[in-house]
Amino acid sequence: MSDNSSDETDAPHVLFKDRPEWKDITPLKQDDGEHPMIAIDYTPEFEDCFDYFRAILQKKEYSDRALLLTKTAAAFNPANYTVWQYRREILKTLKKDLHEEIDYMEKVILGETKNYQVWHHRRILVEWLQDPSKEKYLTEKALAKDAKNYHAWQHRQWTIKTFNLYDGELLYVDNLLQEDIKNNSAWNQRYFVINNTTGFTEEALKREIEYTLGKIKILPDNESAWNYLRGLLLHDKGGLSRNSTVTKFCENFYKEGHRSPFLLALIVDMCSERAAESGGGDDDNVYTVARAKQLCSDLATLYDTIRAKYWEYISDTIEKKSKGEPCDEACSSFN
């Protein structure tokens, strides 16, 4: 029988040294050395619990009472790797019902959503059971608390990829972006889904570019959407500057008076790309070195002044590369 049927929080905590069933165990004190530099002031309950935990860990006792002790220890310190590892050893040795453990971990995780160890324990349980049926639901509950929770997203991606659960994921991501268009984690998830399903085919690129441009229209200064657009263009055989849908959008946006630093930065990179291809930029197109330098100046003095030195450097870099002049290592990696 699992220890999960009784929750210790329903009753006052009793020290293990005062529990008759633990009289045969000699607690093992923590050894901090003779003169510890910084002595931690543990509560009596914490110290009592871990004194007994160290004792049974040393004995390698796999029992129901040991399992109950790990539950208490995890409640005191849910980030303790050794507690969870030992709990897994007990669960396996005693052949406990892992579905009960899964239910117990849902409560733990929703109270400790940013704790790596609890998510790791959950992942191992799912691997043992080969049952991911509750994982998307769990991560959605965690993400409802914090839509950018790294651990929840990591667990969700692992679950989806391991068990091929991509169906409906783009809809979920779209709902998140409707709630918060700047949610960079949701944009990342969108990329993850497409990259691991259809891939960035011509059809997928067309659809995603149109979707992203629509979001940029709603909020022009949304860095997450501009970064996603750049990621899409990396898969376009024409590069940054030869997708007519994107270039037309950017030029129209600029003519309408939009001066988002992310728009200007993309146009700068388009100019740099063309300059690198033609050795200075074609005179018959709008993506020239001269335009790049002007936009870098605008960014440095008007629209992104906090990075003025960066834009001055980029301006010099583009000019040097267009002339075939040598530049430093950082310069050579630019476009």
> 258: closest CA among 316, 217, 227, 290?
217
**What is the number of other CB atoms lying within 10 angstroms of the CB of residue 237?**
8
The encoded tokens of residue 8 equal: 């210790």
Q: Which amino acid makes up residue 65?
A: R
**How many angstroms separate the Cα of 73 from the Cα of each of 7, 57, 66, 85?**
13, 12, 10, 12
Residue 141 falls in the annotated catalytic set? no
What value, to the nearest 5°, has the Cα angle with vertex 172 and ends 171 and 175?
A: 85
Q: Are 274 and 281 in contact (CB under 8 A)?
A: yes
Q: Are 325 and 316 in contact (CB under 8 A)?
A: no
Q: 């667990």: which residue's tokens?
A: 155
Q: Are 102 and 109 in contact (CB under 8 A)?
A: no
**Spatial separation of the C-alpha atoms in residues 120 and 126, rounded to whole Å:** 10
CA torsion 296-300-301-306 (nearest 10°) is 160
Out of 29, 60, 95, 114, pick the active-site residue: 114
Query: Looking at the annotation, which residues are catalytic?
Result: 114
